[in-house]
Amino acid sequence: MRDLTLDFDSPSHRTWDGSRMSTADIMSNMAARSPDVEALNLTFRTYPQDVCPVLPKFTRLRLLVVTGWLTPSLHEAIEALNHLETLYVKLYWARAEAGMESLQVRRYRSVKTIVVLTLSEPLISAFRSTEFPMLEHARLEVWPHSSDATEGLTQAMENLHKHAPRLRSFCLTTRSAAAHGDRPAPQLATVIEPLLRIPILETLSLTLEGNYSFALTRADILSFPAAWPHISTLVLAHAPLATASAPPSIRVFFELIAACPRLETLVLCARFDCTARAEWQDVSVPPHAALRGLFLGLLLETGSYNPERTWRALAAAVDRAVPLMDLDRQLVRPEVVGAQAVETWREVVGHIRDLRSASALHAPSSPGW
């Protein structure tokens, strides 16, 4: 047996071979009977206090799926799984357990991929208290119930910079539970600053819902190519933020893709200003050979005197620069970036579709036999 699923859905005891046994006894029994188990799926509906010392008995585990609670002892037990490559954790929300805010640092020495889905802030504490020397792919979905998790997430990303030297892919989806109130909304560049120091990053996807809204400046955008020379997927999906400073010109988009030849997917919600058409409508950049997925957040006041002409000009410029763009890809949700932003971009995409249809109609037909 190489795959094993154990669902402990009541306090601590079960019937096994006609007798009542603790969850730890059951796991010990299974580890002895199935020494070749490589994939273990565990579900705990109560705190797994008596299970953690037994987990390391599964000496050949490569995949561990845990649904339930995160405790300091479980955080420690996973450290002993020397061959674990993939860790998938789905955690129930609960009040922070004693000890979760002051965890001892653990080293998950062989984990290459981690996926964490949780409603619980204590997870952020666990994540920033773990070293991942072999980690390449990380995906987090964090839904805080009672606080703004911006600071905790920034600390978690700082930990990745320091303790995940092989990280190539980082995907985060989160929601802010509380409005920022009188505090200024954080700059996106501040939140992702630790990741700017991971030059081997190839995929960065941040979907920030709820009360998250960020400003993205021209300088921020132009820092990406130098920070991530191998970037292929860059998704920064969030509500746009109006600020006193001028929004970046759409021209910076063309500069960015010219400097990122490996880009395949790009989402930027920077409220790009398209008013000065003379600056960008005839921009000369080589057609991008890889970019297929694209969404740009545009300044909705753009082209208020003649928006139709502005969007047509932008469509023509984008089509020249991104000839392989897939016009049917849906990369963002209105509840994240705003319904009007989605509608405006859809209008631009519609103009690109018209241009391509007209081009195909007037293209010379192939000579017949």
Q: Are residue 165 and residue 252 in the same domain, yes or no?
A: no
- Domain of 65, CATH number, reads 3.80.10
**In angstroms, rounded to a whole number, what is the distance separating the alpha carbons of residues 166 and 138?**
11
Q: Are residue 160 and residue 33 in the same domain, yes or no?
A: yes
pLDDT at 369 (0 to 100): 47
- Quote the domain boundaries for residue 354: 179-363
pLDDT at 111 (0 to 100): 97
Q: Are residue 226 and residue 170 in the same domain, yes or no?
A: no
pLDDT at 291 (0 to 100): 98
DSSP H helices in 164-271: 188-192, 218-227, 251-259
Q: Are residue 222 and residue 133 in the same domain, yes or no?
A: no
For residue 141, report the phi and psi dihedrals to the nearest 5 degrees.
-125, 110
pLDDT at 13 (0 to 100): 45
Q: Are residue 127 and residue 140 in the same domain, yes or no?
A: yes
pTM of the model: 0.88
DSSP state of 147: S
pLDDT in tens, 238-268: 877 666 678 899 999 999 999 999 999 999 9
Tokens matching residue 362:
């007037």
The domain boundary, picked from 177, 193, 217, lies at 177
Q: Are residue 16 and residue 47 in the same domain, yes or no?
A: yes
CA dihedral defined by 218, 224, 226, 230, rounded to 10 degrees? -150
List Cβ neighbours of 101 (8 Å cut-off, separation of 6 or more): 122, 125
Tokens matching residue 210:
């709820």
Q: Are residue 125 and residue 223 in the same domain, yes or no?
A: no
Give how many domains the chain has, as a whole number.
2
In a domain, 368, yes or no: no
In a domain, 369, yes or no: no
**In angstroms, rounded to a whole number, what is the distance separating the alpha carbons of residues 241 and 216?**
9
DSSP state of 249: B
pLDDT at 252 (0 to 100): 96
pLDDT at 223 (0 to 100): 94
Q: Which residues pair with 298 in a beta bridge?
A: 272
| Cβ neighbours of 13 (radius 10 Å) | 14
Q: Are residue 344 and residue 290 in the same domain, yes or no?
A: yes
pLDDT in tens, 133-178: 999 999 988 876 555 566 777 777 888 889 999 999 999 888 765 5
Nearest Cα residue to 134 out of 150, 158, 113: 113
In a domain, 1, yes or no: yes
The domain boundary, picked from 133, 152, 177, lies at 177
At 22 the three-state DSSP class reads strand
Q: Are residue 275 and residue 158 in the same domain, yes or no?
A: no
In a domain, 283, yes or no: yes
pLDDT tens for the 369 residues of the chain, in order: 789 888 876 544 444 445 567 777 888 888 888 888 999 998 877 666 667 778 888 999 999 999 887 778 888 889 999 999 999 988 765 545 556 667 888 999 999 999 988 865 667 778 878 999 999 999 988 876 555 566 777 777 888 889 999 999 999 888 765 554 445 555 666 778 889 999 999 999 998 876 666 778 899 899 999 999 999 999 999 877 666 678 899 999 999 999 999 999 999 998 899 988 888 988 889 999 999 999 999 987 655 557 888 999 999 999 999 999 999 999 999 988 889 999 999 999 999 999 999 988 776 665 554
pLDDT at 38 (0 to 100): 95
pLDDT in tens, 198-217: 999 999 999 887 666 677 88
The domain boundary, picked from 153, 177, 201, lies at 177
Q: Are residue 240 and residue 118 in the same domain, yes or no?
A: no
For residue 252, report the phi and psi dihedrals to the nearest 5 degrees.
-65, -25
Q: Are residue 52 and residue 143 in the same domain, yes or no?
A: yes
Q: Are residue 152 and residue 66 in the same domain, yes or no?
A: yes
